[in-house]
Amino acid sequence: MFIEYIVPIGVFLFIGGAAGAALTFASRALYVETDETVDKILNCLPGINCGACGLSSCEAYAEAVKKGENAPNMCKPGGLETAQGIGEVLGIEVLPQERETAFVHCAGVTTEHKYIYVGTESCVAAGRYYNGKGNCSKGCLGLGDCASVCAYDAISFQNNAAIIDPGKCWACGMCVPVCPNNLISLRKHSERVKVICSSPSTLKETRENCSHGCLGCGACVKKCLRDAIKIENNCAVIDYEICKSCGVCAVICPPKCIAVDGYKRAEADSEKKPKEAIPVPLQGGDY
């Protein structure tokens, strides 16, 4: 009785007590002092470690803000709430940056495919074979390298081309460098007019390959009321410092490759699918 029950209980109680004492001692002796301000800032941050601020984690950013190395309004996913929170902690007024969204500069409506691709489901790999299966060598390859890095599940595919849901996108910028054709850029919400093509090919080639490709015809340059558009590399480029989002260019563009507030995808096979306009939040953003 004594050996069978009392001794084991005693042994375990002793081990437990000793371990508890050791842990208590360790936590006192090896205590690392944390900065209260950093903790408070960290509480304001969304804690998703997206990297949009340029640092590896939210903690690193909180420390950088405390030390004054980084501006307190760099957290894009946090938006207004985070900015105000950090402002309260630091006792200063912090204005949030304008919300941005990633945008794919390709309508994804190349007319036909050159070959049937059976390789790895990766844009970089597919791009090695004759610059992808689409006729346009600079267009979206549609195999989802960007979607695979998106932490917010904001990228979906229509017509084999990536499309970004502005409601879900927090402009962390993870998708920008992975696109082998450099089609994705971060755009502020006030920059409402966008060119949905970035192909440098000539007018003849673009016309053959894509119904929505920028021809570099220059019609938008002539009609622009503020001279905000230039043709660079056979493709229209908008200077957002000047552009006031009037939308004249979008109306007169012959291939309809300039759009205001998103654009209608699925025009290539419009008979099968209902046309869907992407909801773009109003100017100023709904934080």
- Residue 278: Cβ within 10 Å count: 18
Residue 233 binds another protein (CB under 8 A): no
Residues 33-52 that bind another protein (CB under 8 A): none
Residues 81-140 that bind another protein (CB under 8 A): 114-116, 118-120, 122, 124-125, 128-131
CB 180 within 8 A of CB 130: no
Least separation in angstroms between residue 181's CB and another protein is 13
Least separation in angstroms between residue 258's CB and another protein is 28
Alpha-carbon radius of gyration of the chain = 27
First to last CA, the chain: 69
d(CA 43, CA 39): 6
Q: Which of 139, 136, 186 is nearest to 164 (CA)?
A: 186
Q: Which is nearer to another protein, 106 or 174 (CB)?
A: 174
Q: Which is nearer to another protein, 92 or 116 (CB)?
A: 116
Q: Which is nearer to another protein, 5 or 115 (CB)?
A: 115
Q: State the DSSP H helix or E strand holding residue 229, giving kind and residue range, or none if neither.
A: strand 229-232
Least separation in angstroms between residue 255's CB and another protein is 23
Least separation in angstroms between residue 125's CB and another protein is 6
**What string of H, E and C letters represents the secondary structure of 32-97?**
CCCCHHHHHHHHHCCCCCCCCCCCCCHHHHHHHHHHCCCCCCCCCCCHHHHHHHHHHHHCCCCCCC
Residues 56-85 that bind another protein (CB under 8 A): none
Q: Which is nearer to another protein, 175 or 258 (CB)?
A: 175
Least separation in angstroms between residue 127's CB and another protein is 9
Least separation in angstroms between residue 167's CB and another protein is 28
**What string of H, E and C letters represents the secondary structure of 255-279?**
CCCEEECCCEECCCCCCCCCCEECC
Q: Which is nearer to another protein, 184 or 196 (CB)?
A: 184
- List of residues contacting another protein (CB under 8 A): 114-116, 118-120, 122, 124-125, 128-131
